[in-house]
């Protein structure tokens, strides 16, 4: 009986307190709800990842389900991680915009004149850099672990990469950096090249130098700062110009290689698409489609890397000498460069030189990512058709790839899909703001921090390009292969200049 009495009293007091302090109870529930969701989400992901065979577990891709195979592809990881960051930014910028700004901290905009200013910046923001490093490590570490890289190996290499990136941003933040053309993209590339070719870098660090992964992730973030309306209106021009360049470059290299220099048709097909569409990615896609040999792949990759490095240095400084508008220069670079990462480095460098990086990156993205990259799947399908219906019958060869309508989707760069989705999400989420509110509220609280995080991804990428380019490892290429590829490169550069400056110059200048 006493227990019942005590129970009734406590229940009454509890009910009274709940009614009187209902607002406090609501606050507790509000605080516990996201915590519970976060906990359940982490547990669900952990359980899910445990069921996915890791890439180093010896399970072949063919044995996995379609969904499990997606977790092995860095294209899809770039999409998922990029969209996760975009959704997080959208969910927090109106109430906790300062946190997003803090998360994107870097010394690039400091304009320091004395070394003491730089050290004070790091002393004041050390906690933010530690938080940022932890975020990047977790983001990229989980993805690369599922793709087969041991987490601690990646973390060791990424720590090295992150520290170098901070130093490069600090160099770019020097007040006189622009005077000496010390733009972070160029500095990152040069520092990486010097280190890779003068210092013995341990092989275990290479696991963190994920050139393609970083640039694809950055492209998805770029989509968040790219209005979908601009994609819809500018897309037809970019695709039209890209189609012309893709056809001109590909056919020029192929017929020059086969008719003038008598090269193997499969080698000619590989270098023709590698030099006219998308570098290494296109090389691998076409090699699989036509049954090319490893020597063909090595030759194409060597030419792509060599010419990409030349144009990273050549195009920005020629654009500067000619005084090109950043939008026009970005389109020219997007028409001339055949590697996304190298092209972004060149466009970002000239954009910073000209004081309008945004215009250079937008026109480059429209021209290269939305325009030319779409041709990877198309050319893979075309060359597979040619190889299986014409070459195989003549030579009696067994080409590994067969005609499959799904080939275009499989070869389609999924990060382009992520770019479109990110652009659409942010455009819809901010559609209720006036142009003045976009400029005063949305841009500083949402778009600029996402742009700064994208800048980190690109610097990781540009550094990785340099750090993985060891000239001693490049394969020798015969004169005919080099000449055919180089002729295509030169024609692309000239045709791209004419189209970007004279035919569509006014259009690109308005981007």
Query: Average pLDDT, stretch 349-359?
Result: 87
Contact between 192 and 467 under an 8 Å Cβ cutoff? The reply is: yes
- Report the alpha-carbon distance of residue 32 to residue 26 in Å, rounded: 10
What value does the mean pLDDT of the chain take? 81
- Report the alpha-carbon distance of residue 462 to residue 172 in Å, rounded: 14
Q: Give residue-wise pLDDT tens across range 225-243.
A: 877 766 666 667 888 898 8
Query: Average pLDDT, stretch 331-359?
Result: 87
CB-based burial label for 151 (10 Å; 0-12, 13-18, 19+):
middle
Provide the number of structural domains found in the chain: 1
Q: Does some domain include residue 183?
A: yes
Which residues are CB-neighbours of 214 under 8 A, at least 6 positions away?
Answer: 341, 457, 458, 460, 461, 464
Q: Does some domain include residue 460?
A: yes
Query: Average pLDDT, stretch 391-407?
Result: 54
Contact between 437 and 85 under an 8 Å Cβ cutoff? The reply is: no
User: Looking at the predicted structure, is the pLDDT value of residue 323 above 90?
Assistant: yes
User: Looking at the predicted structure, is the pLDDT value of residue 400 above 50?
Assistant: no
Q: Does some domain include residue 447?
A: yes
- Report the alpha-carbon distance of residue 500 to residue 366 in Å, rounded: 12
- For residue 7, CA distances in Å to 17, 22, 25, 104, 126 come to 15, 21, 21, 53, 53
Per-residue model confidence (pLDDT) at position 211: 85
Q: Does some domain include residue 109?
A: yes
Per-residue model confidence (pLDDT) at position 412: 67
Q: Does some domain include residue 383?
A: yes
Structure tokens at 360: 């250079």
Q: Does some domain include residue 392?
A: yes
Q: Give residue-wise pLDDT tens across range 26-52.
A: 666 555 555 555 555 544 555 555 555
- Report the alpha-carbon distance of residue 437 to residue 439 in Å, rounded: 5
Q: Does some domain include residue 33?
A: no
Contact between 175 and 108 under an 8 Å Cβ cutoff? The reply is: no
Per-residue model confidence (pLDDT) at position 401: 46
The percent of residues above 70 in pLDDT, for the chain, comes to 80
Q: Does some domain include residue 24?
A: no
Range in 295-304, 383-392, 491-500 with the lowest mean pLDDT: 383-392
Strands, E, within 97-231: which ranges? none
- Report the alpha-carbon distance of residue 196 to residue 182 in Å, rounded: 20
Q: Give residue-wise pLDDT tens across range 156-177.
A: 999 999 999 999 999 988 988 8
Range in 246-250, 304-308, 394-398 with the lowest mean pLDDT: 394-398
- 256 pLDDT band, cuts 50/70/90, is very high
Greater confidence (8 vs 415) lies with 415
Per-residue model confidence (pLDDT) at position 3: 62
Structure tokens at 266: 């499969």
Alpha helices (runs of H) in 366-446, residue ranges in sequence order: 375-386, 392-395, 407-411, 414-429, 435-437
| Dihedral Cα 87, 93, 96, 101, nearest 10 deg | 100
Sign of CA dihedral 394, 399, 402, 407: negative
Q: What is the span of the domain harbouring residue 503?
A: 70-509
- 301 pLDDT band, cuts 50/70/90, is confident
- Report the alpha-carbon distance of residue 495 to residue 216 in Å, rounded: 27
- Report the alpha-carbon distance of residue 423 to residue 86 in Å, rounded: 10
């Amino acid at each position: 009986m006493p227990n019942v009495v005590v129970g009734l009293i406590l229940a009454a007091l509890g009910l009274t307190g709940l009614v009187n302090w209902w607002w406090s109870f609501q606050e507790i529930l509000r605080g516990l709800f996201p915590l519970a969701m976060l906990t359940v989400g982490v547990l669900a992901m952990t359980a899910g990842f445990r069921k996915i065979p890791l890439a180093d577990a010896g399970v072949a891709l063919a044995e996995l389900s379609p969904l499990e195979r997606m977790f092995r592809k860095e294209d899809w990881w770039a999409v998922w991680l990029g969209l996760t960051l975009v959704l997080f930014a959208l969910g927090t910028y109106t109430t906790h915009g300062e946190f997003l700004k803090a998360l994107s901290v870097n010394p690039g905009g400091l304009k320091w004149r004395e070394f003491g200013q730089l050290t004070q910046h790091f002393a004041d923001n050390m906690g933010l850099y530690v938080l940022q490093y932890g975020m990047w490590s977790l983001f990229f570490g989980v993805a690369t672990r599922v793709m087969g890289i041991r987490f601690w190996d990646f973390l060791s290499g990424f720590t090295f990469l992150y520290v170098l990136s901070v130093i490069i941003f600090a160099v770019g933040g020097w007040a006189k950096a622009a005077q000496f053309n010390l733009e972070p993209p160029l500095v990152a590339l040069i520092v990486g090249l010097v280190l890779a070719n003068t210092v013995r870098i341990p092989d275990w660090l290479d696991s963190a130098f994920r050139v393609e992964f970083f640039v694809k992730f950055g492209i998805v973030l770029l989509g968040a700062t790219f209005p979908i309306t601009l994609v819809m209106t500018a897309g037809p021009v970019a695709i039209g110009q890209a189609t012309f360049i893709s056809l001109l470059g590909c056919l020029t290299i192929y017929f020059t290689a086969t008719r003038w220099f008598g090269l193997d048709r499969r080698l000619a097909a590989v270098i023709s698409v590698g030099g006219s569409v998308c570098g290494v990615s296109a090389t691998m896609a076409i090699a699989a489609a036509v049954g090319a040999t490893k020597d063909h792949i090595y030759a194409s990759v060597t030419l792509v890397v060599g010419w990409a490095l030349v144009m990273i240095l050549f195009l920005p400084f020629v654009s500067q000498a000619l005084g090109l508008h950043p939008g026009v220069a970005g389109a020219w670079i997007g028409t001339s460069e055949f590697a996304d990462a190298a092209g972004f480095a060149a466009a970002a460098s000239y954009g910073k030189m000209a004081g309008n990086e945004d215009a250079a990156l937008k026109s480059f993205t429209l021209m290269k990512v939305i325009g030319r990259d779409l041709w990877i799947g198309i050319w893979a399908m075309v060359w597979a058709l040619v190889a299986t219906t014409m070459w195989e019958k003549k030579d009696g060869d067994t080409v590994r790839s067969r005609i499959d309508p799904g080939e275009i989707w499989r070869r389609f760069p999924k990060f382009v899909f992520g770019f479109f989705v990110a652009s659409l999400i942010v455009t819809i989420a901010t559609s209720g703001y006036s142009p003045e509110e976009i400029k005063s509220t949305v841009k500083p609280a949402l778009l600029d921090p996402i742009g700064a995080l994208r800048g980190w991804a690109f610097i990781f990428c540009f550094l990785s390009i340099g750090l993985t380019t060891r000239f001693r490892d490049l394969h020798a290429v015969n004169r005919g292969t080099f000449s055919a590829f180089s002729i295509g490169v030169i024609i692309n550069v000239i045709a791209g200049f004419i189209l970007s400056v004279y035919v569509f110059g006014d259009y690109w200048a308005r981007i």
